[in-house]
Amino acid sequence: MLGWLRHQWRRKRIRRKSWIFNGRRKNEEGVEMNMNAILEEILIKRSQQKKRTSPLNYKERLFVLTKSMLAYYEGRPEKKYRKGSVDISKIKCVETVKNEDIVIPCQNKYPFQVVYDNSTLYIFAPTAHSRDQWVRNLKEGNCSS
């Protein structure tokens, strides 16, 4: 019984916290808002390791860049829940990462980093062109870089 209640609570919590991305989003009142995506692509994100014990891992995420936000979602087509976001105005630096001697354990071999607040987001693009496009657009939208 306790397991079932815990499961129901988690389901409701996830539904309230997350929303499905389809180019539009519903705000708290349930009104659809249009999100004009500048870029949208499945990239690989490295874990941020905010806790000391968290493992270093790499996951596919659907990244969406708008004028005001960089958001990322679960990359599977059937589940596109928002996993995180960064307000563009809080981004301090966006740069490509040189990977000459580093072994990258994922298929996307073109890394770049987004530094914001006290965190760094490492993202891996499938091609150099894709990485350059993301870096350029993030820098254009960010006044502090």
The pLDDT tens digits of the residues spanning 36-57 come to 889 999 999 988 776 666 667 8
Domains: count for the chain: 1
Is pLDDT at 62 greater than 70 in this prediction? yes
73 assigned to some structural domain? yes
CA–centroid distance for 4 within its chain? 31
Give the domain extent around 67.
Answer: 37-49+56-143
Contact (Cβ atoms closer than 8 angstroms) between residue 94 and residue 113 = yes
In a domain, 115, yes or no: yes
Average pLDDT over residues 68-78: 81
* Token representation of residue 48: 């941020």
Q: Which residue has the higher pLDDT, 58 or 70?
A: 70
Q: Helix, strand, or coil here: 72? A: strand
pLDDT in tens, 96-141: 988 766 667 777 789 999 999 889 999 999 999 999 999 999 999 7
Residues 123 and 133: their CA atoms lie apart, in Å, by 13
Residue 55, token pair as written in the block? 């493992």
Distance separating the N- and C-terminal Cα atoms of the chain: 53
Q: Tell me if 96 is assigned to some domain.
A: yes
17 lies in some domain: no
Tell me the backbone φ, ψ of residue 97, rounded to 5 degrees: -110, 130
Closest residue by Cα to residue 44 from 125, 142, 102:
125
75 belongs to a structural domain: yes
CATH at 108: 2.30.29.30
